Structure 1
Amino acid sequence: MTFEMGFVFALLATTIALFVSDKLRMDLVALMVVTVLAVSGVVSPAEAVAGFGNPTVVMIAALFVVGEGLFRTGVAAAAGNWLLRVGGRSETRLLTFLIPVVALLSAFMSSTGAVALLIPVVLSMARRSGMQPSRLMMPLAFAALIGGMLTLIGTPPNIVVSNALKAEGLKPFGFFEFTPIGLCILMVGMIYLIFVGRRLLPAASGSETEDEPDLNTLIRRYAIAGQLHKLVVQPMSPLAHKTPVEAALRTEHNLTVIAISRAGRLLPAMIPVLSNTRIEVADELWVYGTQEDIKRFCDSHQLERAGHPERDIKRMHQQFGVAEVLLPPDSPLEGRSVREGQFRERYGLSVIGLRRRNESLAINYRDTRLESGDTLLLAGSWDHVRALEGRRGLVLLQTPAEFREIPSHGRHAPAALAILGLMLVCMTAGWLPALPTILLAALAMILTGCLNLTEALRSLNVTSLILIAGMLPLARAMETSGALGYVVEHLVAVLGGASPLVLSTGLFLLTSILSQFISNTATTVLVAPIALSTGQLLGVNPEPLMMTVAIAASTAFATPIASPVNTLVLAPGNYRFSDFAKVGIPLQLMALGVTLLVTPLLFPF
């Protein structure tokens, strides 16, 4: 063993120890690795930082932009809603539908791309179902890795072993020759992840914090829970043909109209009231007020209560919501009544809740005077809530968690779907290489208005990108120093005289272990020729050995750095390094068992 080999082995062991200890952030550890390699001379300084320009890193960054475009246009939420409709709110049912969908997509496109695109969908599903993202993110990643085992183009290692066979004058693997083994592993993996693996996952995730309450939590905080009512204007109602101002709904009746539903369309009432904004017969009014005020108003104005259908409430909340704001000491609203504050005219929003010194107060729109330090709950259209940022006179404290689910560019959803479809077709048909295809898709998302440049830049998951870019030079150092070849040669020397089944087991374990720390493609490039030559030397059919190597290369389940797929879900799932080992190692052993059982049946030794 040379000094360079020993240095790389020591650096690898130190890196793994730091990852496992969780004493330092993983992206910081990755930057430290880059620095040490650049200083050591094991690789050149250019090679040490080459990971930041690596095509894989650039492709993942572009996919973040594509995924954000799907999120901003509402496509991700719509896909999540569909999965929720078919899977319900049960973790078991959701995973039963999610895992095969992800695996099928990964069978025909990059598993990294599939996960990057589906992260917004799964986050939307988690929020709407009340689950923690940590319960779904790791199964998403593992399903994508297994999906790569299903076809020849599912993952690069499959192509590597097929080309290696062809180069030796042997028959290469066909497009679907991987499918039977991959399907068996997918079935076993599904059963494990649904009934065992998910119970090993952390129950809480930092993605959902107490600093971002949902809409119902904010409403309860201001003691107005149960005060949203749906009222129907009857033919003889004196409210008909009047504006909310003419009817003095707030000043005389202490009621606030949030929305008007007319002929199936929601009309935003939370805008400056114009003379032609009139309430009509048969209008459905969404009104905030106490039970007593609502009852008196309905009796005196011939309105009918229409209940609270869940579908209507969901539909209303797609366009209308709330925001919590603070009245700063220099606010021009200080000392004014709620009515004099003219919140509708200033902000397009209405005050429905008031807290002073951490206590909820009943609001009288004519008499209640505002003080600095008051926090107000404003209600109106999401567009006006979005426009609150930076407005003079108020400090936006927080919006409900649902606000993130509201598409800011919903009208561009058809364009986002078209871009996604074209991208998938180009990648599957091979019309263009993956990198330029995804870059074009990301650029098209911005140019068509699916998201703006600021949103695109904010979508980049810097932690994941740094971690991937920082670990690539370490893999390069293992290759150039000879450390990787050293491990492979010694293992083959030990297993050279063993039976074909034991040899397959050793090759699987070697490939799988190496794939936890370096690129599975690089691992396959190194191990495949050894498997091929060893099989020929021992008079063993090389096909089952090469298939074993290809499958093992996709079992990168045990560490978050094993694959870009795992790294992508690290931050959204708020996982620790040990979480992957706890859930992934049993799955690796199951994949080993299935491979050793099924492969010899399809490709006899």
Structure 2
Amino acid sequence: METEIIIVLTIMSFTIFMLVTEIVRIDVTALITMLALSWSGILTTGEALAGFSSNAVVAMIAVMILGEGVARTGMMSRFSKWLLKRVGKKKSSVLGSLSLSVGTLSGVIQNIGAAALFLPSIMDIARRIKVSASVLIMPIGFAAIIGGTLTMVGSGHLILTNDLLANAGLDPYGLFAVTPVGVALLVAAILFFVLLGKYFLPQGSSEGAVDKTEQEKIMDAFSLKKDIRYFRVEPISALAEKTIEESGIWSRHGVNILALRDANETKYGPWRETVLQPGDIMALYGDTEKLNRYVQENNLTETHDETIFEGIDDPEEAGFVEVIVPPSSDLVGQSIREFSLRRRYAVEPIMLFSEGERVEDDFSDHKIRGGDTFIIYGPWRNIKELQNTDPFVVATTVTADVKDRSKTWQAAGSFLLAIGLAMSGFSISIAFLTGAVAMVLLNVLSIQEAYKSIEWKVVFLLVGLIPLGTAMQNSGTAQFLAENVMSLIEGSSLLVLLFTVAILSTGFSLVMSNVGAVVVLAPLVVGIGTIAGVDPRPLVLLAAVNAGNSFVLPTHQVNALMMSAGGYKTKDYFRAGGGMTLVFLVVSVLFFYYTFF
């Protein structure tokens, strides 16, 4: 055995051990690996640092920017609501639907693009159905990887397969030749995580519990409820042509109006002098008995059309906050009426605490003192405006990002531009980087916000591990391993041959690129198939399919992207990915055994 091969095998073993044990952070391990390959003379300086300019790393950076831009518009949040309305909030239904969606999309676009597009939606849905995001993110990331096997253009290594077959004088495969096995693998993966996921996936906090959000904490602390009801002002209503204050909503009934929809626009925290017109829709909040009395006295008609006030009862769009009036505030000595809180900030004051007293009825004329505390409700964008002013100190942590829906088409167009360029023949890095720059130019996000969206831990993980794949190929280590393993099974049964090809391809894909694994294995597989009297075409295709069996380590770019979002450690991939790897091997080999041979 040559010295170079021994050195590469030693560095590879060290890398896998460090990634699994996480004695140091995985990105630090990756950088040590990169440096070790240069120190040992296996790679030149240029080869060791090639990861910084690699297609995968540039694409990863661009995809993170694109994902942030899409998330800022709330586009995927709206998709989350649409999906939950149709499949319900049962975890297995959500997991199955999302996995099927991202897997199918991954069959026609690059899997990293599909994963990035759905990641904001996955996070949003996890919050809505109150499960740990770690239960959803990994299975759906795996579905994105498997989706690359649905067509012969779903992933780079499958695209390359036909070229390798042509070089060997064999007929290429059609676009959908791999679709049956891809569908079988995707269905098997969904069933695996739906039925057995609780035994393999990290469940977040203890016993799968989900920590309370800031909204849930404030609602519990002040006995608030999120019971918002919608009512239409009829022509015969006593409220028609009256101002909101004249209706007695605060003074006589102790009810709050969170928003008003008229013929032209939606007004949050509408001003007290706003005149109500027939046809207006009111979003009301308050004690059920008081609210019913107000509705009956004024002949209001309840409506259940939630689209009228889209986002008003969504904790990602609006919510309760606690605000405190500091002693130095200009508000001290004024009343809510005099200050025109609703008119200035379009928020609704729900409750007041003053000198130990809790006031929930009309406190419009209460003279505000330093230390008074209000509970107000409104859209996050309005609350953030209030947060940046002097009269109040917002005591509640506002974690939700303000969504700018006006940029939806610009964000979607930039993403579609990236997908279109990738499908038309441009490299994935150039395609997605073009889309990312388009988002900046179209003001979806600023260049500083684009830089902040990059998860550098993931970037350096890929930068450090890419040279290991180069070393495996350049030193002949991959060829050495493949030849020795193949020699051991010469003369064995067809099933043993298929499992060996699949396992070799899987192993290589964990420490080198998927494309590299196929390039190394294809010539060997063709030779072994010819000697064994077996059609080499499906053997090469089996190797190519299993080059996508990259679940045990977070070395695949989709796994790297999902790792930080899900809060995973390498051992989580080792456990859940190990189970998925076995399912992938068994399903793919048996499918090929019974359908291709």
> TM-score if structure 2 supplies the norm length?
0.86
Counterpart of 2:457, as a letter, is T
- Asked if the contact 1:107–1:149 (Cα under 8 Å) also holds between the matched residues in 2, the reply is yes
- Asked if the contact 2:226–2:313 (Cα under 8 Å) also holds between the matched residues in 1, the reply is no
Distance 2:37 2:369 in 1: 61
Residue 575 of structure 2 is aligned to residue 575 of structure 1: no
Q: What does residue 283 of structure 2 align with?
A: 286
Residue 595 of structure 2 is aligned to residue 598 of structure 1: no
Residue 509 of structure 2 is aligned to residue 515 of structure 1: yes
- Indicate the SS of the match to 1:285: strand
Tell me the alpha carbon deviations over residues 440-498 of structure 1, each in whole angstroms, 9 at most, x when there is no partner. 22222333343343443333233322222222123223333443333223222322343
Q: What does residue 25 of structure 1 align with?
A: 25
Counterpart of 2:592, as a letter, is T
Distance 1:18 1:60 in 2: 23
Q: What does residue 528 of structure 2 align with?
A: 534
**CA offset at residue 345 of structure 1?**
5.0
Match of 2:411 among 391, 400, 416: 416
Counterpart of 2:283, as a letter, is W
Counterpart of 2:483, as a letter, is E
**CA offset at residue 519 of structure 1?**
1.6
**CA offset at residue 168 of structure 1?**
1.8
- Asked if the contact 1:218–1:400 (Cα under 8 Å) also holds between the matched residues in 2, the reply is no
Residue 303 of structure 2 is aligned to residue 302 of structure 1: no
Tell me the alpha carbon deviations over residues 408-467 of structure 1, each in whole angstroms, 9 at most, x when there is no partner. 1x1232343344444434433x25333322222222233334334344333323332222
**CA offset at residue 312 of structure 1?**
5.9
Q: What does residue 312 of structure 2 align with?
A: 316
Residue 491 of structure 2 is aligned to residue 491 of structure 1: no
Tell me the alpha carbon deviations over residues 340-382 of structure 1, each in whole angstroms, 9 at most, x when there is no partner. 654335544343235689996657343364434x654332344
Q: What does residue 213 of structure 1 align with?
A: 214
Q: What does residue 79 of structure 2 align with?
A: 79
Name the stretch that deviates more: 156-165 or 301-310.
301-310
Tell me the alpha carbon deviations over residues 303-348 of structure 1, each in whole angstroms, 9 at most, x when there is no partner. 6473877666755336754434455565444576555654335544
Give me the identity figure in percent: 28
Q: What does residue 343 of structure 1 align with?
A: 341
Query: What is the Cα-based RMSD across aligned positions, in Å?
Result: 3.6
Distance 2:26 2:324 in 1: 37
Distance 2:589 2:511 in 1: 23
Distance 2:242 2:592 in 1: 77
Residue 161 of structure 2 is aligned to residue 153 of structure 1: no
Residue 498 of structure 2 is aligned to residue 504 of structure 1: yes
- Asked if the contact 1:111–1:154 (Cα under 8 Å) also holds between the matched residues in 2, the reply is yes
- Asked if the contact 1:547–1:599 (Cα under 8 Å) also holds between the matched residues in 2, the reply is no
Distance 2:155 2:228 in 1: 52
Match of 1:380 among 359, 378, 381: 378
**CA offset at residue 566 of structure 1?**
1.2
Q: What does residue 367 of structure 1 align with?
A: 366
**CA offset at residue 228 of structure 1?**
5.0
- Indicate the SS of the match to 1:69: helix
- Asked if the contact 1:222–1:360 (Cα under 8 Å) also holds between the matched residues in 2, the reply is no
Distance 1:111 1:359, change over 3 A: farther
Q: What does residue 451 of structure 2 align with?
A: 457
Distance 1:501 1:229 in 2: 63
Q: What does residue 422 of structure 2 align with?
A: 427
**CA offset at residue 547 of structure 1?**
1.8
Stretches of structure 1 lacking an aligned partner (at least 5 in a row)? none
- Asked if the contact 1:205–1:574 (Cα under 8 Å) also holds between the matched residues in 2, the reply is no
Match of 1:448 among 420, 428, 442: 442
Distance 1:323 1:54, change over 3 A: farther
Distance 1:51 1:223, change over 3 A: same
Distance 1:344 1:481, change over 3 A: same
- Indicate the SS of the match to 1:353: strand
Tell me the alpha carbon deviations over residues 124-180 of structure 1, each in whole angstroms, 9 at most, x when there is no partner. 332333333222212212212222222211122223332222112121222222222
- Asked if the contact 2:143–2:186 (Cα under 8 Å) also holds between the matched residues in 1, the reply is yes
Tell me the alpha carbon deviations over residues 240-270 of structure 1, each in whole angstroms, 9 at most, x when there is no partner. 444446668657875543211234x652143
Q: What does residue 90 of structure 2 align with?
A: 90
Count, aligned residues: 593
> TM-score if structure 1 supplies the norm length?
0.85
**CA offset at residue 515 of structure 1?**
1.5
Distance 2:279 2:292 in 1: 18
- Indicate the SS of the match to 1:108: coil
- Indicate the SS of the match to 2:9: helix
- Asked if the contact 1:47–1:473 (Cα under 8 Å) also holds between the matched residues in 2, the reply is yes
- Asked if the contact 1:327–1:395 (Cα under 8 Å) also holds between the matched residues in 2, the reply is yes
Stretches of structure 2 lacking an aligned partner (at least 5 in a row)? none
- Indicate the SS of the match to 1:476: helix
Distance 1:97 1:234, change over 3 A: closer
